[in-house]
Structure 1
Amino acid sequence: MKYYVSPFNKEAKLKFPKNITIYDTTLRDGEQTPGVCLGTPEKLEIAKKLDELGIHQIEAGFPVVSQQEKNSVRSIVNENLDAEILVLSRTKKEDIDVAIDCGVDGVITFMGTSDLHLEHKLKLTREQALNVCMKSIEYAKDHGIFVAFSAEDATRTDLDFLKRIYKKAEEYGVDRIHIADTVGAINPQGMDFLIKELRSHLKTDIALHCHNDFGMALSNCISGLLAGANAISTTMNGIGERAGNTSLEEMVMALKIMYGVDLGFNIKVFYELSRLVEKHTKMVVPHNKPIVGRNVFRHESGIHVDAVIEEPLTYEPFLPELIGHHRRIVLGKHSGCRAVKAKLEACGIEVSKDELCKIVEEVKKSREEGRYINDKLFNQIVKTVRGPVDL
């Protein structure tokens, strides 16, 4: 058995859509994280690894931003990956032309629809905004590509206007509408209400682009899927503007293990992909980050270690090998004899019971003095207790 979650999960009778699309925006919204700038080689390497994962769609960038960005998108397109390649586009003809020139499979065209955005950013009336959006959708559709329309700040938009603009987009042939929770302002119950309201008026696919300002991005996506949405926007390691976006690895693993919805991804590459994104963005993954954090499969507490050595699933919901991660027993203040003995055995060292107890005592003492128990220090401790050894 590679994972073991609560049997009570199955008691909740939930119904997810038959087909769920994950479109990853690490290379677009992820790169909009302050301080992050990805060159073409870096974008290409991440795109290839996302494709190895089996991602459905890659939002490769915002090509109108610069010539290099355009070149990056072109390079990804030219790799002929299995994933569809999408890009972001404002509701402007010139943006769409640049996207088409890159050879992409589709565009995500967007405009702010909340009164906040219309009044303070765009200086447009609702009617003006609606007309601009429809013209851009019509123009893009005329070029035979996939077209998604995203209402920026949708979760703070007047509901009647939101229904109207999405319905109009549907009538203009849009392939998917996107709900952008731009500042993470909705909660799971609000998302449930919103999706059900929209689903009663729309037949087209509904995607969710959730930000994590209140730590609810993943929950909002799960709630939205159960209410009738069928596409999710993600980023690897959950990077993105401010508090980031829905985490790709959390989304996929939650669906697979917690809800029994397997999207068929090659999840063994998750840890490698996480480290790759960390390397190229220079955004260090928090040690306690769910799924891919370094501490997720690290154990120090003696009680925990004893059990994990016997059966890892006692303190792990799934085995690390499932995502290409690895387990590590860490020695420190809370370590017991079992953990230290396992470390010694791994090094091929036999000690007496008294020597083992003394080594454990020295390990605890050293850690409490502020020293991290690495191999070098452990070697010194063992030498002090029983003489020279070769670790």
Structure 2
Amino acid sequence: MAIEHPSFGKLDDNRIIIFDTTLRDGEQSPGFSMNIEEKLRMAEALAELGVDVMEAGFPIASVGDFDSVLSIAKHFSKDGPVVCGLARTAPADILRAAKAVRPAARKRIHSFVSTSPLHMRVKLRLEPEEVLELVTSSVSLARQHTDDVEWSAEDGTRTDPDFLCRCVEAAIKAGATTINIPDTVGYAVPEDMHRIFTMVRERVPGADRIVLSTHNHNDLGLAVANTLAAIQAGVRQVEATINGIGERAGNASLEEVAMALRTRSDAIPVRNGVVSENILRTSKLLATITGFDVQPNKAIVGRNAFAHESGIHQDGVLKDASTYEIMTPESVGWTTNSLVLGKHSGRAAFRDKLKALGYGDVGDNQLNDAFRRFKDLADRKKVVYDEDVVALVDDEVVRGHDRVKLTALTVATGLNTKPMATLALEVDGDRRDGMATGDGAVDATFAAIRNAFPHEVALKLYAVQSVTGGTDAQARVTVRLEENGKLVDGQGADTDTIVASARAYVHALNKLLVKRERTAPAEQFAARSA
């Protein structure tokens, strides 16, 4: 049965709306904060990926969140995705979300309230009837600002079935066009999801006129399975994130859901608008921006996802790839040959490679800087891999808006010698010099950064891995910093491990500065937007 939707028009029963919450729920992961420029770049990649709805943030949470949602709302035309802002039931939340998404050609307000007995008693301290009133008032207010309103029953999978149906009915009567029943704490199993959504469809008046949505967390590793079960029960919107990032164990992985639907269309005959060939580059872009790589064996986008080491598997793949590959690497953006660049490669070939790797909007100045670094790398390495190119352009392309930049570094060390580091930083356009000694070259370098740009943080993680094989490989360093309970991860790459370490520390420092800005008190909104 077709549904008439304010943002999508007539939706047939086989159409799945892809709701991406990488920029909202995903960004709530410890250490995953992004600045406005990074969120815009990610938003563009998500649009190219083909997501239908983009949850850009939680506008009332901070000045930074409001500004990010507002910037993304201004960015897309009517042909772009629906831009969504999250809000609680308080009028201030709804109005802030409305103001943030107002410039969008296609906009949505997403309101939520807890409905489980535990959440109502402990968190809200409200009676069920009071929660019902909040459902009606919040959705009604949101409908005054946009025709596209989504309502979510937080902790819906642990909600009393009768009360859940009453809440859904109230939201529909108040004007909600999408109803989301999330597995907020990752408690459900697939049978639960199928039962809950089947119940809502059968018992709630008007449920056949709205879009049902599923939002699943991965605490038991069942987020994708629960999402697929919900689709089989009639859900036609799935909420997910790139690389499965999100609170605690994360959300359902968008790329896994999309490829499961594509690969098993025989079992789940539905369609969606995801351009699967863009999956890998979107995944890599997010990893670059956040500083968090996916694990090697991650489905679809892990570097081992299409690797075969077993002799039996290798023999089968050589004879016919379909013996052990249920999808082709190319279908999600992997290339079969990455050894294409060397010291004789020109600027045009380098630009084409950047486009193929997802850096399609590199400006001339950034291209020149990245090409210079590529030539320097090519002189030091026999072979330049795709992974090398991605690693070296991160600083020039993705991190071009960082407030703190490393511009010079000299380290003196040796046997029976106290290591000393001297460096220069550019902080908001001004040069700052630092010098320090330490227990080792890395310790001295980090101390010099603190000398040039004083700050108090705790170093929680320092890890080094090789980008590719060989003694001339680039080192990729990950640094995790903590300040007042806030965790951030930074990454840096270079054939010199000490330089890579400094880049990683500075990257983490920039993310910490973003996190400070994004957690500005909500009270600042009044002065900012009055």
Partners of 1:78 and 1:224 in 2: how far apart? Answer: 33
Aligned to 2:88: 90
Partners of 1:306 and 1:196 in 2: how far apart? Answer: 45
Contact (CA 8 Å) 2:116, 2:158: kept in 1 or not? yes
Partners of 2:308 and 2:335 in 1: how far apart? Answer: 12
Of 117, 132, 135 in structure 2, the residue corresponding to residue 133 of structure 1 is 135
Of 37, 60, 64 in structure 2, the residue corresponding to residue 64 of structure 1 is 60
Aligned to 1:213: 219
Amino acid at match of 1:94: A
Task: Indicate the larger mover: 254-263 or 129-138.
Answer: 254-263
Instruction: Tell me if 1:291 matches 2:287.
Output: no
Partners of 2:274 and 2:127 in 1: how far apart? Answer: 43
Cα distance, 1:327 vs structure 2: 4.8
Cα distance, 1:237 vs structure 2: 0.5
Partners of 2:302 and 2:324 in 1: how far apart? Answer: 15
Which segments of 5 or more consecutive residues in structure 1 lack a partner in the other structure? 1-15, 330-346, 348-370, 378-391
Partners of 1:163 and 1:252 in 2: how far apart? Answer: 29
Partners of 1:117 and 1:272 in 2: how far apart? Answer: 39
Of 11, 21, 26 in structure 1, the residue corresponding to residue 22 of structure 2 is 26
Map 1:189-268 → 2, pairs under 5 A: 189-200=191-202, 201=204, 202-203=207-208, 204-260=210-266, 261-268=270-277
Amino acid at match of 2:229: S
Amino acid at match of 1:35: G
Cα distance, 1:259 vs structure 2: 2.0
Aligned to 1:300: 309
Partners of 1:58 and 1:146 in 2: how far apart? Answer: 13
Amino acid at match of 1:147: V
Aligned to 2:396: none
Of 162, 168, 171 in structure 2, the residue corresponding to residue 169 of structure 1 is 171
Contact (CA 8 Å) 1:271, 1:323: kept in 2 or not? yes
Partners of 2:17 and 2:467 in 1: how far apart? Answer: 44
Aligned to 2:524: none
Partners of 1:226 and 1:318 in 2: how far apart? Answer: 22
Instruction: Tell me if 1:100 matches 2:94.
Output: no
Task: Indicate the larger mover: 212-221 or 269-278.
Answer: 212-221
Aligned to 2:37: 41
Contact (CA 8 Å) 2:94, 2:109: kept in 1 or not? yes
Cα deviation per residue 1:270-294 (whole Å; 9 max; x = unaligned)?
0000011111122220111111111
Aligned residue for 1:318, secondary structure, equals coil
Between the two structures, name the one with larger relative contact order (CA 8 Å, sep ≥ 6). 1
Aligned to 1:273: 282
Aligned residue for 1:52, secondary structure, equals helix
Contact (CA 8 Å) 1:149, 1:169: kept in 2 or not? yes
Partners of 1:291 and 1:160 in 2: how far apart? Answer: 39
Cα deviation per residue 1:198-221 (whole Å; 9 max; x = unaligned)?
001223221001111111111111
Cα distance, 1:84 vs structure 2: 0.4
Instruction: Tell me if 1:151 matches 2:164.
Output: no
Cα distance, 1:372 vs structure 2: 12
Describe the shift of the 1:374–1:143 C-alpha distance in structure 2 as closer, same or farther (beyond 3 A): closer
Which segments of 5 or more consecutive residues in structure 2 lack a partner in the other structure? 1-11, 339-382, 384-465, 473-530
Task: Indicate the larger mover: 98-107 or 256-265.
Answer: 256-265
Aligned residue for 1:63, secondary structure, equals coil
Describe the shift of the 1:375–1:304 C-alpha distance in structure 2 as closer, same or farther (beyond 3 A): farther
Cα deviation per residue 1:151-201 (whole Å; 9 max; x = unaligned)?
000000111111001101111111111101011111111111111110012
Cα distance, 1:73 vs structure 2: 1.0
Aligned to 1:74: 70
Contact (CA 8 Å) 2:109, 2:146: kept in 1 or not? no
Cα deviation per residue 1:74-112 (whole Å; 9 max; x = unaligned)?
111111151000011011111111122122511110011
Aligned residue for 1:71, secondary structure, equals helix
Aligned to 1:112: 114
Aligned residue for 1:298, secondary structure, equals coil
Cα distance, 1:54 vs structure 2: 1.1
Partners of 1:134 and 1:265 in 2: how far apart? Answer: 34
Describe the shift of the 1:119–1:136 C-alpha distance in structure 2 as closer, same or farther (beyond 3 A): same
Aligned residue for 1:94, secondary structure, equals helix
Of 186, 189, 192 in structure 1, the residue corresponding to residue 188 of structure 2 is 186
Aligned residue for 1:228, secondary structure, equals coil
Partners of 1:115 and 1:236 in 2: how far apart? Answer: 31
Cα deviation per residue 1:27-69 (whole Å; 9 max; x = unaligned)?
0000111222111111111110110011110000101111121
Contact (CA 8 Å) 2:51, 2:273: kept in 1 or not? no
Cα distance, 1:373 vs structure 2: 9.8
Partners of 1:298 and 1:229 in 2: how far apart? Answer: 34
Amino acid at match of 2:227: C
Cα distance, 1:70 vs structure 2: 1.1
Cα distance, 1:242 vs structure 2: 1.0
Aligned to 1:362: none
Cα distance, 1:376 vs structure 2: 5.7
Aligned residue for 1:232, secondary structure, equals strand
In the superposition, the TM-score normalised over structure 2's length comes to 0.58
Of 459, 469, 475 in structure 2, the residue corresponding to residue 374 of structure 1 is 469
Aligned residue for 1:45, secondary structure, equals helix
Cα distance, 1:328 vs structure 2: 8.1
Partners of 2:51 and 2:229 in 1: how far apart? Answer: 21
Q: Say which structure is richer in strand.
A: 2
Describe the shift of the 1:163–1:373 C-alpha distance in structure 2 as closer, same or farther (beyond 3 A): closer
Aligned residue for 1:65, secondary structure, equals coil
Partners of 1:26 and 1:85 in 2: how far apart? Answer: 13
Task: Indicate the larger mover: 21-30 or 78-87.
Answer: 78-87
Of 50, 60, 72 in structure 2, the residue corresponding to residue 54 of structure 1 is 50
Contact (CA 8 Å) 2:213, 2:237: kept in 1 or not? yes
Cα deviation per residue 1:208-241 (whole Å; 9 max; x = unaligned)?
0111111111111111111121111000001111
Instruction: Quote the RMSD (CA, aligned, Å).
Output: 2.2
Aligned residue for 1:177, secondary structure, equals strand
Amino acid at match of 1:184: G
